[in-house]
Amino acid sequence: MDLLTSYRCQLQGTRARRLSQTETGSPININQLYWFHTTGFALAALLQSAGYGHPAQVKILRHFADVVAPNLGVAPDSGLSRWKSFMTDDYTPIELSWDFHTGASRPSIRYSVEPVGPYAGTAADPYNHMATIAFKRGFLKASPDAYVGWLNHFEACFGQDWDMTIPEGHLSNMFWAFDLDEDNATSKAYFFPGAKAYASGRSKLDVITEAVSSLPNHTGEAIIPFQTFTRYAHKTSLEVEMVAIDLIRDSRLKLYYRDRRTTFASVQDNMTLGSQLDNDDLQMGLNRLRRLWHFLFAIDEFSDDASLRYDSHRTAGILYNVEFHLRGKAPKVKIYIPVRHYAESDRQITVALTKYLIHEVGSQEGFEAAIDYAHLYSSCLDSILSVHPYQVLTFLANISQ
């Protein structure tokens, strides 16, 4: 019996508790069981559809069950007050992603999570600090080789008990993420600068710049790539959201920001940081992105000034991240295609994506694989949504220089 079939058996309720205790190797509670059965099933479905080997699936799912599932808060169907996580629009504190890469190569799976305690948002734990501490302890026990130098630095910068009554639209203060390879997982941590910025009367970009400038073992010259972005940000109306790091010694630094403009012309402006970045690979990537934009939103490929429909939601607009290696390399900009607000449905997204892959890969080697992966994604999505209506799946398009 494969792992996905095992999960299906559990969902039928016949062996749920016994199998869960056996596979996680630790005691469970009703909330952990809920997340194990729903999001755990969704993760199992993605791993299997993406072609991960059985040993890798077991390792990834055991880590999810032991480290993550106990720290996702109360079950949505519990009737108890839920923490309003900024992770997703329906407050689900975990989000799964399927990365198609070039389309012809095997996809990879990642997920992001906000640790949430059972009393988060109540008088006992108003700002969800308990889960932040518990999750870090459990993560480091499971991943003793993780590098925590930058983690501790940014926690010291942003993790204090600042006044959380700020006009951010959310109270989330830290996320974690796991990029899942066959053999290893790259772990990441995300920090929100809003509370410190508000408390100190400065902008979020200013407090991030201060934190980056004081990174241990880095000179002032090392942040020159970061200054490429700050020059652009200071003359553009951008909304800085968070900063992220890898938990390895040679970490990247990522800054996430939102632009409310939704024209493709504004996308090009962001991807080049106001024409500061330009090379053949970047231009090729922008041309590919324009075609994907057309397939997803039915906008003429040559109408770069056409906006997507207006949406006033807190997470509307377009999210970008700028990636820096503090070794003098030029930054890279990535875009998160805003399908959750502007596409018609999950089905429309998968149809558009399949058309795009057919167009891009064409007669090249790997064409059949690309179509197979698109169909696997579509069927996998159907399977996930049938058992886990709270799960939000997004399409992440990485078009970088």
pLDDT-above-70 percentage for the chain: 77
Q: Is the pLDDT of residue 366 over 90?
A: no
Distance (Å, whole) CA 109 – CA 46: 7
Which is more confident, 115 or 96? 115
Which is more confident, 92 or 341? 92
Q: Is the pLDDT of residue 60 over 90?
A: yes
Local structure of 92: helix, strand or coil:
coil
Which is more confident, 340 or 18? 340
Between CA 286 and CA 127, with CA 339 as vertex, the angle to 5 degrees is 115
Q: Which residues are annotated as a binding site for dimethylallyl diphosphate?
A: 110, 188, 190, 252, 254, 256, 336
Structure confidence by residue, pLDDT tens digits, 182-214: 988 999 999 999 988 988 899 999 999 999 989
How confident is the model at residue 359, as a pLDDT? 75
Q: Which residues are annotated as a binding site for L-tryptophan?
A: 95
Mean pLDDT for 338-353 is 77
Q: Quote the strand ranges of 161-286, DSSP E.
A: 174-180, 185-191, 239-246, 253-259
Euclidean distance between the first and final Cα of the chain, in Å?
A: 43
Which helix (DSSP H) or strand (DSSP E) does residue 322 occupy? strand 318-324
Which helix (DSSP H) or strand (DSSP E) does residue 205 occupy? helix 204-213
Q: Is the pLDDT of residue 9 over 70?
A: no
Q: Is the pLDDT of residue 230 over 80?
A: yes
- What six digits make up the tokens of 261? 């403009």
CB 166 within 8 A of CB 198: yes
Sign of CA dihedral 293, 110, 320, 221: negative
How confident is the model at residue 190, as a pLDDT? 98
Q: Is the pLDDT of residue 393 over 50?
A: no
CB 20 within 8 A of CB 10: yes
Q: Which residues are annotated as a binding site?
A: 95, 110, 188, 190, 252, 254, 256, 336
pTM: 0.85
CA 327 vs. chain centroid, Å, equals 25
How confident is the model at residue 170, as a pLDDT? 83
Mean pLDDT for 228-247 is 93
How confident is the model at residue 357, as a pLDDT? 75
Computed over every residue of the chain, the mean pLDDT equals 81
For 265-273, the CB contacts below 8 A with 24+ separation are 265/304, 265/305, 266/318, 267/293, 267/318, 267/335, 268/304, 269/236, 270/318, 270/320, 270/333, 270/335, 271/320, 271/333, 271/335, 271/399, 272/333, 273/228, 273/229, 273/231, 273/232, 273/322, 273/331, 273/333
